[in-house]
Structure 1
Amino acid sequence: MNPEPMAMNDLPCDVSRKFVRVLQRRGNGLVEFEFSIGWPELAVELMLPQPAFEAFCQTHQVRWLDEGAESPASTTV
């Protein structure tokens, strides 16, 4: 017997938890990334210039979802 799937409303959401996953660092200085609040698997994709991205991450005190990510100032691809 399979349990009923939980509705999205039944899942706890801690809005104080914010997550970032860097998707790409572009040669033109833009950082393409996913940002999520509460649930790391529900995200929006955003792009910001590197300095604005660093400020964004600091302001929101994000948790990194990238493997091996240490800071928003990682090297450009």
Structure 2
Amino acid sequence: MEPAMNPEPLATDNLHCDVSRKFVRVLQRRDNGLIEFEFSIGWPELAVELMLPQRAFEAFCQAHQVRRIGDPSEGPASTIV
């Protein structure tokens, strides 16, 4: 009888993901008023791309209490004008 094989743990098993940390990186402000951005939870390297109008983007950032990454000169996402 063969011994039971224990699969090697996935890399993510050893990584801590703090889901309270949320990030936004603005990619582009389009002429039609849409903001193209990346949104991530826990790991800034793993993101989804989204587009929202300016006001909806501001509300989204405030609701999720995001931390802006990328351009430090723009300040926190909740203060975008």
Unaligned runs of 5+ in 1: 1-5
Please give the secondary structure, in 2, of the residue aligned with 1:51.
helix
Map Cα deviations across residues 24-65 of structure 1 (whole Å, 9 max, x no partner).
Answer: 000100000000000000000000000000000000000010
The equivalent of 1:33 in structure 2 is: 37
Partners of 2:31 and 2:16 lie apart in 1 by 39
State the 4+ residue runs in structure 1 displaced beyond 3 angstroms.
Answer: none
Alignment of 1:1-77 (within 5 A): 7-67=11-71, 68-72=73-77, 73=80
Percent identical across equivalent pairs?
71
- TM-score of the two chains, using structure 1 as the length reference: 0.82
Partners of 1:35 and 1:14 lie apart in 2 by 15
Unaligned runs of 5+ in 2: 1-9
